[in-house]
Structure 1
Amino acid sequence: MSGSTGDGMSAGQWLPLVGLTLSAFIFNTSEFMPIGLLTDIAVDLHVTEARAGMLISVYAWVVALLSLPLMLLVARMEYRRLLLVTLALFIVSHLLSAVAGNYAVLMASRIGVACSHAVFWSIASPLAVRIVPEKRRSLALSMIVTGTSVAMVVGMPLGRIIGLYVGWRTSFLCVAVLAAVVFCYLLAVFPKVPGGKSFSVRRLPVLLKHPVLVGIYLMALLVPTAHYTVYSYIEPFLQQVAGLPAEWITLTLTAFGAAGIFGSMLFARYYDRRPARFVAAVVVGIALLLLLLRSAAFDRYVVMALCIVWGIAVTAFNVAFQAETIRYAPEDAAPVAMSIFSGIYNVGIGCGALFGGAVCTYLSVADIGYAGGVLAVAAVVFCLCRLLPLLKGRIS
């Protein structure tokens, strides 16, 4: 597989990258899928919907808490082997989900999936940039994020459709089968990638005292918290405040996910030219869009257009800050640095959902855009005043 394609990448570089993209798709399909199956799971296992919803909350907190410890544990493992072991755990956990006879077994299986998720998203981006030429790193990262975006558009609805017609267990079984196919594909095409040096807890100050990485990690808390303050409750907002009918809400949320593909394309095209400006633009854009959400609710076309641009901006933020994390972390510490990023990001998801819930309870669902926007403005101030000067110091 040494033939070179027209863009300077050989088949031996494209094929593993496609495998990572497919892996990103199935991992995020699995993460989002229970959202559309909660009612069926609750009825089948004789639990309340609130208790079934804990499958989602526990998943996010396991990822947040275990991303760093798990990566410290496996940092020296050869990365091809680690990727395959991670996928194997993912497959076994989904098979366990498919045959779970009670709530406790299903929860245990989802914790297993969360552990595989924590490791995969710690190594996916660093692996993507290591298996392609340096000038194609932005393309590699954008493809990984594209897999995530496609999962939001196709994966979750498809899992729900399968669940509605043949049962929620079959949805988990289908994910396991798809993951097994990807496992065989990666076994055939993925090259060996040496693991890093042993990364002990004693070396963490190298990452936690680096001024740019600390800034990135703070942004990984602030912006997701702001985003999920709003996005966690976007469905009731669109229904109650914007007055959208059910089919328009579905269309808007689908368009939001699809917009992420365009956001990853913009990153691949423009990020390398002006990284600092790109970072600033997406952070400022997210803040403005959240603050304008309530005003846009007067018209269905306007609020849908805002959600599309919002989807573009959030995806661009995710991939840009992953790129900055990899750029500034020592090469042998990149997976550990990414595990910290992923863990903090998931804390932001949980905090945003809690804060948004409080806003809905004590104020109004109409105010979620303002609440998230205030947090996003704080992120803008920090980014422009503290983080951007450091990035510009690197970019002439």
Structure 2
Amino acid sequence: MHFLHRRESGHPWVSVIALTFSIFIVNTSEFVPIGILPDIAESFSLTSGEAGQMITIYAWLVVCLSLPLTALTMKVERRKLLLGLFLLFILFQSVGAWSPSFPALILSRTGAAFVHSLFFSLAIPLVVSMAPEGKRTKALSYAASGTALASVLGMPAGTLIGHYWGWHSVFGAIAVLALVNLLVLARSLPAMAGDDSRIASSMKKMERNRSLLMVYAILFLGVSGYYTFYSYVVDFLQNGAMISRGWVPFILMLAGIGGVCSSLLFPALYRCSPRYCLYADIIVLTGVLFLMDIPFSETAALRIAGVCGLVMVFTVFQLILQSRIFILASGYADLANSLFSSVFNVGIGMGALAGGRLLNGGADVDRLGFAGAFFAAAALASEWAVLRFADRGNLQADLQKKGGKDD
């Protein structure tokens, strides 16, 4: 499904890669406060739970603004809209780099959330439209990798920058990367007219697709569980095992490398059992979150291993669900992926809020893994229901359909 009227570009893959990098940058901007949260809290004399509210505010603003802004701008010329959004994004990241107070930082994050809320409903269809004929699924997989790599590489890299040059410099670095990417997009993207003629019919198809709706339910629960714990991962690493803050960026980078490795192994794992791969992954995700709460996890080595394992398992979780989106939403995967981003943000907001409330209520940071495991267990129950009660023949055919093929 395309909502765009495309004018040919001489270098379509340059545009696809630039759009993928823009997805990486915007998502990195969302995730990076997790790694520098204690530094932000300390600089403004806040607790981590209080500072963590900006993660929830950002995520839920994205959700609330996404559909209204998408509807209002559907007929606006796509290239101008994207470039204008990126200019605003650079402006708000610059405000973050300057922020002298927590309200100023919240203003910066609010503006970035405004851009984010419209960006993904725009970027995914652009990726699809720019892909060469017969390479749409490959292009969509590139776009999905931009999101996955932001959490496993972008956030740790930002944490490392923040450790050596201060948290303000992280937002400055994102602004510089966005400016470079803006120049590439300006050179490579052709003009494209907007078109809202098929949105209504595609939305109706999505509403009737029960398997797709279950994907969103499982996504929300799994992301909520992960971010209940991971939003405060820096405090977890420093608590109990006495890991110094100077080592935290390197530990997160190590976890990110593990996430990249699991993403490389994902195609082989998924081909082995597309039907049960998600079920097995959620079992492991639930188990790892639960283990974060038990006494033997207080040693530094076990905490580091736990965080690395958690990132690897969650990376696979994201990729499995994105693969299901491509398969189950054949014909309107671009819109389905835009909704994927919204649901993901609802989960981030819920997880950060739940973890922050627990910390502000006096709970130890170690208890967050146990709380996250409850969300993950609910996701596991949902996937069990899908496998147990869905039309087994049709579901099996859907998950194996087009396996390894492009459209």
Q: How far apart in 2 are the matches of 1:53 and 1:91?
A: 23
- Partner of 1:305 in structure 2? 305
User: Post-superposition shift, 1:90?
Assistant: 1.0
The CA distance in 1 between the partners of 2:13 and 2:97, in whole Å, is 33
Deviation at 1:182, TM superposition (A): 0.6
Contact 2:16–2:139 (CA under 8 A) maintained in structure 1: no
* Displacement after TM superposition at 1:222 (Å): 0.6
Deviation of 1:13 after TM superposition, in Å, equals 4.6
> In the alignment, what sits opposite 2:60?
61
RMSD, aligned CA: 3.6
In structure 2, what is the equivalent of residue 6 of structure 1? Answer: none
Shift in Å, 1:314:
0.9
Instruction: Say which of 148, 161, 165 aligns to 1:162.
Output: 165
**Aligned equivalent of 1:395, options 374, 377, 399:** 399
Distance 1:238 1:108 in 2: 29
Counterpart pick for 1:152 among 146, 149, 155:
155
Within a 5 Å distance, the mapping from 1:97-116 to structure 2 comes to 97-98=96-97, 106-116=105-115
Gaps of 5+ in 1: 1-10
Q: Verify the 8 A CA contact 2:292 2:366 in the aligned structure 1.
A: no
Contact 2:292 2:306 in 1 (8 A): yes
Instruction: Work out which structure has the larger RCO, using CA pairs closer than 8 Å and 6 or more positions apart in sequence.
Output: 2
Check conservation: 1:118, 1:339, Cα contact below 8 A: no
2:180 alignment partner in structure 1 = 181
AA aligned to 2:315 is T
Q: CA deviation at 1:159?
A: 4.5
Counterparts of 1:35 and 1:230, CA distance in 2: 11
1:136 corresponding residue in structure 2: 138
Question: Which residue number in structure 1 is paired with residue 341 of structure 2?
Answer: 342
Provide the secondary structure at the position in 2 that maps to 1:294.
coil
Listed as ranges, the matches of 1:1-396 within 5 Å are 12-34=11-33, 54-77=53-76, 79-98=78-97, 106-128=105-127, 131=131, 133-134=135-136, 136-137=138-139, 139-141=141-143, 143-144=145-146, 145-159=148-162, 161-163=164-166, 168=168, 171-191=170-190, 195-198=194-197, 204-271=203-270, 274-295=273-294, 297=297, 299-329=299-329, 331=331, 333-360=332-359, 361=361, 364-386=364-386, 389=392, 391-396=395-400
TM-score (structure 1 length as normaliser): 0.79
Q: Following the alignment from structure 2 to structure 1, what is the Cα–Cα distance between the partners of residues 97 and 149?
A: 27
Q: What's the CA shift string for 1:363-391, capped at 9, x where partnerless?
A: 54333323222321221121132167464
Secondary structure in structure 2 of the residue aligned to 1:254: helix
* CA distance 1:340–1:283, change in 2 (3 Å): same
User: How far did 1:187 drift?
Assistant: 1.8
Verify the 8 A CA contact 1:24 1:148 in the aligned structure 2. Answer: no
> Match of 1:307, as an amino acid?
V
Structure 2, unaligned runs of 5 or more: 1-9, 401-407
Q: Give the Å deviation of 1:311.
A: 0.7
- Note the C-alpha offset of 1:156: 3.7
Whole-angstrom distance in 1 between the partners of 2:298 and 2:375 = 24
User: How many residues are paired up?
Assistant: 381
